[in-house]
Structure 1
Amino acid sequence: MKIGLLGWDYSGIDPDGTSLVEYGRERGHETSFFTLEEIAYHPGPEGVELTLKGEPAGSFDAVINRSKLYGDDWRDRVERLAMLSNVPGPRVFDPVDVWLTGYSKFLMAQKLAAAGLPVPPIRSAVSLADVEKAFEEWGDIILKPSYGYRGQDVERIHDFGAQKEVAEDLLTRFSTVLCQPYYPTEGGEYRISVAGDVTPINMLKLPPVGSWRCKTLEGASFERIDAPDELVDLSIRATRALGMTLSGLDVLPHEGGYMILEVNPVPGFLSVLGAEQHRQVLAGVYDWVERKVQEGPSA
């Protein structure tokens, strides 16, 4: 097959994009890397035609999408991904509608809840009064922008009077923020990575002493776990509900079950548990892509 990898950028911030290209070649595919900026539009016999780094989009069998939609030029980026998603021929893993849902925490919560999956209740806030209303209802809350990554700009409000400036700063910068109840993280947070039909990376992340954040970039520790069957099943069902091929889920143990906090469409650090798990992730992605392409566009 001819498979393109739609990458984040050329900075090296996402080495897993390159790994997917190299692994595809190992499996005998003609694979290449390009970015959203390298999608171009041209006149053609049937209207607008697209090229991907100079090659006709229709010449690809599949495109694996790890693109970046964040930034001041997000409108152009979404437009390019939408144009690619509409091209007959290549199957995009995953197309623009899936990507937008994966990037938006509001859309994600809506879709997961509609599928009957456990997610925190949410409120939108456009004013300090909205934040105060959420605080009065839940007592201890999390504020964050709908569009964000790597846990940036996620804040906990446990004393509204003393932390008004934190809320005001987020509202000033993002206009609308998402509010949800805070759930204790002392027992850790699960990170489950789904690649097609398998979950090669199953970890428990533990916050550092004195912190509630389970962010490895801020000192949280992690350990590999054998995830319970019900947690694996929940993670795969959430990934399928969102239409994703590859995902990284943050899941909290909660009241005898689980609470899905987030489903990341561009999970990084896929080699964090070593080479074996890394290759299992890459294999899971390609197993899924190959099967779906062979099954046809309706599969």
Structure 2
Amino acid sequence: MSTTTQTPSGLLPPPPGVYVPAVLFFHRGSEDIDEEAYGKHILRLAEGGVTGILIQGSNGEAQHLSHSERSRTIAFARKTLDEAGFHHVLIIAGTGAQSARETKELCVQAKESGAGWVLVLTPSTWAPAMGVESIIKFHREVADASPLPYMIYNFPTVTAGIDLDSDLISSLATHPNIVGTKLSCGNVGKIQRLSSSFDSKSDFATFAGKSDVFLHTLLSGGAGTIAALVNLVPKIHTRIYQLFREYQETKNAKVLEEAFVLQAKLSAADWGVSKIGGVGGVKAIVAREFGYGNTVVRGPLREVDLLGLLEKSEQGRRWWKEVEEVLRIEKSL
């Protein structure tokens, strides 16, 4: 069941907090969705205190799924959360596609499957033939048709280098159904400009798309993060968010210092995971450290041999050391 809230001026953004673009697990050989592993992952994230889960973000391999698989994973996640008593954990659905028509269809299907918001990646197949006006038209047209409140997903790494600037996003933010953005560009200046221009709680929410700027985003007035590293260490992210809220109330510098100590460790681990192998690396680490799932990704993504990397690469062992440190802290919380 959808959990968005209607207001007289439009639809609310997702509430501030910690969100995770959940990885999706597949059976080896068939590449069918492994619901048992996926369910365990969804529940571990919920138990870690996340505010919500993004189904089919880039880490969820959205572009590698059929429409029926995309709907199925949303419905499965909502059912899994509800049956375990996590009704308060929200669901955002990634509904990006390479045409406005297909994106509209996915937005409708996301609502039918139980999502509360949609997150839409800018198309990129014909990036040189688009331009700013085409991008603005695309997002406004799809937002007009979306039955759920709409968020803009900016991730230049996966959109052929298309990087929406703060002017463009600000112009889209005035649309009555566009309620937020996920900025995986990691541009703190952009986060600052947007978060200082809009109220994240009631108007337009700016979320960091990377853990390495999580606390910086909060201090800039942003809403929080929707970040891949939360797949591994949800409790640390939740702890940083709690410390930030405590600092807001008390202005106790020691509380902020503690948050920055944890943030420094997140930043190092975020870089380490990205170098180990992104989506494939996250799956490999989850399987090794938490005992479910496997390393299977759908092509053309690259499967990560974590053990081989640690045995053969000195640099890989240095990256792993940073990841191992946050895993140690996570398991102690």
Instruction: Flag the structure with higher helix content.
Output: 2
Query: Which TM-score applies when normalising by structure 2?
Result: 0.29
Q: Report the structure number with the largest CA radius of gyration.
A: 1
> Whose RCO is larger (CA < 8 A, sep 6+)?
2
Query: Which TM-score applies when normalising by structure 1?
Result: 0.31
Instruction: Flag the structure with higher strand content.
Output: 1
